[in-house]
Amino acid sequence: MPLAASESLIHVSIKAETLFTIGPLHFTNSMVGALLASAILLVASWWFLRRAAMVPNRFQTAFELPIEWLAGIVAGSTSRWRSYVALVIGLFLMILIANWLGLLPGVGTIGLVRESEGGKELVPFVRPASADLNFTLGLAIITFVVFVWWGVRLHGPLGYLKELAGEPRYMAPLMFPIHLISELSRLVSLSMRLFGNVFAGEVLLATMLALTTAVLFVLPLAFFIPAIFLGLELLFGFVQALVFALLTMAYITLAIAERQGGHAHDESAAAAGPDGAPAPAHA
Amino acid sequence: MNSNLAAGLAMIGAIGPGIGLGIGFSKAMEALGRNPEASGTIFVPYILGLALTEAIGIYCFVVSLILIFTK
C-alpha cells in the first residue's frame, strides 16, 4: 500500500481535488489554475496591446522576439500558415503560463486541510492546470478537431476517408484501422505527454523538497538542491509548451500537405512524416 | 505491495526511449558539428523527434503512477 497522506511529506494526488461543488459541477483546484493562467494571459495581452507602438521600445521587443521567432517557424510550414498561426502561438502561451504557474511558491502548498479516510490531507487552492489530464486532453481535442477539420475541408469527407484507406486500394481493409488508430493515438500521446511531464515535474519537486528537509540537520546547504530542480522544471515547462505547439503545427501541416500529392516539403521547412517521425527538410 | 512492484517493473520500459533519445541527440549534435549553419533547420524536427520518442517513456511513467496512486 502507498504511504498514508498524513505520514508523508510528499503530497501527490493524480487527480485534481474538488474545492467546492456548484450543482453538478465539481470545481477543482486545477480549474483555479487554468482560470488563473487565462486571466494572466488576458490581462498581459490587454496591457501589452494598449501600449504597443509601431516603433517598439526595448520592453516591447523583449516580448515580441519569442513570439516572432515562433511565428517564423510556423510561417515556414505551409502557405496557409496565417489561418493557424494564432492557434499555435495561443496554445504555446497558455501551456507555458500554466506550466510555470506550478513553480510559484504557494501553489500546491497553501490550501485547506481536510479530513479523509487516511487522516488529515492537504487540498491546495491552486494546482497547475497542465498537471490535470482534463486540461491537457481538452487542449489535445482542440488540436485533433482542427487538424481533422483541415483534412476534411481540403479533401472533402470522402477524400479524407480515402486518405485514411491508403494508396494501394486492396490494402485498405488492413490500412484503414491502422491509420484510424494512428490518428486517435495522436490525441492520447499529445495529452499524455504534457500531463506526464508536468505531473512528473511536480512529483520530482515534492520528492526533492521532502528529501532535503529530511537531511537538513546534517547538510544545511541542502536547501539549494530543490532550487536546481526548479531551474530544470523552468526549462521543461518551456520545452513541453513548445513541443505541444510544434506538434499541433506539424499535424496541421500534414493534413494540408497530403493533398499536394506527397510533395509535402516543397515549401515546408518543418514537417513530420506520416508516422510522426521527423522528415528531412529541404531548404 | 504488488502494485508497487508492478510500478517498478513498468519503468523498465523507459530503457528504450532512453537509448532512442541518446541516439537522436548524438545524431543532431553530429549534424550540427558538420554543418553549424543548419541549426535553425535541424531544431524543429529535432524537438519533434525527441518529443515523440520521449512520449513512450512518459507512457511507462503514467502507467506506474496509476499503479502507485490509485487504489
Smallest Cβ–Cβ distance between A73 and the set B44, B61, B71 belongs to B44
Question: Phi and psi for A3 in degrees, rounded to 5?
Answer: -60, 140
Grid cell, residue A19, equals 474545492
Task: Find chain A residues with C-beta within 8 A of B69's C-beta.
Answer: 2, 12-14
pLDDT beyond 80 at A129: yes
pLDDT beyond 50 at A121: yes
Residue A94 CA to residue A246 CA, distance in Å, equals 14
Specify the pLDDT at position A39: 94
Which range among A59-63, A96-100, A215-219 has the greatest average pLDDT? A96-100
pLDDT > 70 in chain A, percent: 86
Smallest Cβ–Cβ distance between B44 and the set A203, A270, A280 belongs to A270
Helix/strand/coil for A120: strand
Specify the pLDDT at position A281: 43
Tell if the CB–CB gap between B62 and A195 is shorter than 8 Å. yes
pLDDT bracket for residue A76 (50, 70, 90): confident
pLDDT bracket for residue A249 (50, 70, 90): very high
Specify the pLDDT at position A282: 41
Residue A261 CA to residue A229 CA, distance in Å, equals 47
Relative orientation angle of helices A172-215 and A225-257, to the nearest 10 degrees: 170
Strand positions, DSSP E, A139-237: none
Specify the pLDDT at position A126: 86
pLDDT tens-digit profile of A142-201?
Answer: 999 999 999 898 888 888 888 888 777 788 888 888 888 988 989 988 999 999 889 888
Residues of B with CB under 8 A from a CB of A: 1, 4, 41, 44-52, 54-55, 58-59, 61-62, 65-66, 68-71
Record: fold of B2-69: F1FO ATP Synthase (1.20.20)
Residue A219 CA to residue A241 CA, distance in Å, equals 36
Specify the pLDDT at position A211: 81
Tell if the CB–CB gap between B45 and A247 is shorter than 8 Å. no
Residue of B nearest to A133 (CA): B62
Tell if the CB–CB gap between B69 and A2 is shorter than 8 Å. yes
The dihedral built from the CA positions of residue B40, B45, B46 and B47, taken in this order, carries a sign that is positive
For chains A and B, CB pairs below 8 A equal 68
pLDDT beyond 70 at A233: yes
Residues of A with CB under 8 A from a CB of B: 1-2, 12-14, 73, 189, 192-193, 195-197, 199-200, 203, 239, 242-243, 246-247, 250, 269-270, 272, 276-281, 283
Grid cell, residue A31, equals 480549474
Residue A32 CA to residue A38 CA, distance in Å, equals 10
User: Which of the residue ranges A36-40, A109-113, A266-270 would you say has the lowest mean pLDDT?
Assistant: A266-270
pLDDT bracket for residue A21 (50, 70, 90): confident
Residue A212 CA to residue A222 CA, distance in Å, equals 6
- Mean per-residue pLDDT, B37-66: 86
Higher pLDDT: A51 or A47? It is A47
Residue A5 CA to residue A190 CA, distance in Å, equals 30
pLDDT beyond 70 at A55: yes
The single-letter code of the amino acid at A231 is G
Q: Is A247 exposed, middle or buried (0-12, 13-18, 19+ CB in 10 A)?
A: buried
Helix segments in chain A, DSSP class H:
29-50, 58-75, 85-101, 133-165, 172-215, 225-257
Average pLDDT score over chain B: 88
User: Which of the residue ranges A76-85, A87-96, A111-120 would you say has the lowest mean pLDDT?
Assistant: A111-120
**Residue among B4, B48, B66 with most chain A CBs within 10 A, to mutate:** B48
Tell if the CB–CB gap between B65 and A283 is shorter than 8 Å. no
Grid cell, residue A175, equals 490500412
Residue A269 CA to residue A178 CA, distance in Å, equals 27
- Mean per-residue pLDDT, A84-107: 90
Residue A188: which of A132, A144, A242 has the closest Cα?
A: A144
Residue A160 CA to residue A204 CA, distance in Å, equals 43
Specify the pLDDT at position A11: 63
User: Which of the residue ranges A139-153, A191-205, A251-265, B56-70 would you say has the lowest mean pLDDT?
Assistant: A251-265
Grid cell, residue B54, equals 520521449
pLDDT bracket for residue A106 (50, 70, 90): confident
Task: Find chain B residues with C-beta within 8 A of A189's C-beta.
Answer: 52, 55
Tell if the CB–CB gap between A277 and B54 is shorter than 8 Å. no
pLDDT beyond 90 at A209: no
What string of DSSP letters covers A18-41?
EEEEETTEEEEHHHHHHHHHHHHH
Task: Find chain A residues with C-beta within 8 A of B71's C-beta.
Answer: 2
Name the pTM for this structure: 0.81
Smallest Cβ–Cβ distance between A192 and the set B1, B47, B58 belongs to B58
- Mean per-residue pLDDT, B9-38: 93
Specify the pLDDT at position A85: 92
pLDDT tens-digit profile of B25-48?
Answer: 999 999 999 998 988 888 888 888
Specify the pLDDT at position B71: 64
